[in-house]
Amino acid sequence: MDDLLSNVPRDRLEALEAAGFTWHPLLALWFNRKRRKIISHDAVTKRDAAWLQAWVVQDEGGKSSIWFEEPLPPEAMDAILLELGW
């Protein structure tokens, strides 16, 4: 198992997996193409478990939802979206 995943509580991993999220180890984030959502490893580990469980299933009405604890420079976000094929 990826070292970063070893510090994620089991209930959070289960919530992400149940909602169809996939772990991207090189980018250290979770994503769900169908829901058009991305969440960073930091957000998964720092946010309240109840918040995460609600966020992963929240319908964004076809819009993308991206959650990082720290703001990313635009070029970093562009690189992430390119890597994920968005």
Q: What is the pLDDT of residues 22-38, one digit of tens each?
A: 999 888 899 998 888 99
pLDDT at residue 73, as a whole number: 86
Domain count, the chain: 1
Angle between helices 49-57 and 10-18 (to 10 degrees): 10
Parent domain of 42: 4-84
pLDDT at residue 55, as a whole number: 93
What is this structure's pTM?
0.86
- Rounded Cα–Cα distance for residues 31 and 2 (Å): 16
Taking only the tens of pLDDT, the chain with its 86 residues reads 478 899 899 999 999 999 999 999 888 899 998 888 999 999 999 998 999 999 999 988 888 888 888 888 888 888 888 888 88
